[in-house]
Amino acid sequence: MAKKLSTEMVSLLGNYGHIGFTFVIAIFLGLGGGIYLDEKFFEGKTSPWFTFIGLAFGIAAGFNSLFQILRTPAATPEDEDEKVD
């Protein structure tokens, strides 16, 4: 019982423990890409438009990866107690 509980705990931890990290990284990737487009590619002529567009895409990507994490099959471990008992 204790072993079952701990493996379930670890798989839940693995699935949900990285939500925050992935979310933040997606936002910063979008923002960084936007800033790069503004400053390096268009050399500041379009500033700050691509920064904001990139930020919006980054936030959307964060929510997208959040939904992807929630949809994974491992996120809902099946109730094995019913099978065993």
Partner 1 sequence: MEHPILFISIILEKLGLPIPHGPVGHGLLEQLCEPYMTYTWFVMAFLVVVGKLTLSNIEIMPGKGQNFWELLIGGMHDFFNANMGEELTEKLFPMIATFALYIAVANLIGLIPGFMSPTASINTTLALTIIVWVTHHIIGFRAHGAGYIKHFLGPIPVLIPLMLPIELISNIARLLSLSIRLFGNIMAKETLLGILFMLAGAFFAPLPIMLLGVLVSLVQAMVFVLLTVVYFGQAQEHAH
Please give the DSSP secondary-structure letter assigned to residue 77.
Answer: -
Q: At what angle do helices 49-71 and 19-36 cross, to 10 degrees?
A: 160
| Site membership for partner 1, residue 46 (CB under 8 A) | no
| Site membership for partner 1, residue 70 (CB under 8 A) | no
| Site membership for partner 1, residue 21 (CB under 8 A) | yes
- CA dihedral in degrees (39, 66, 64, 54; nearest 10)? -10
**C-alpha torsion sign, points 65, 67, 21, 10:** negative
In whole angstroms, how close is the CB of 35 to partner 1 at the nearest point?
14
| Site membership for partner 1, residue 5 (CB under 8 A) | no
Single-letter amino acid, residue 58:
G
User: Which residue in 33, 35, 37, 39 binds partner 1 (CB under 8 A)?
Assistant: 33
Task: By CB under 8 A, name the binding residues for partner 1.
Answer: 10-11, 13-15, 17-18, 21-22, 25-26, 29-30, 33, 57-58, 60-62, 64-65, 68, 72-74
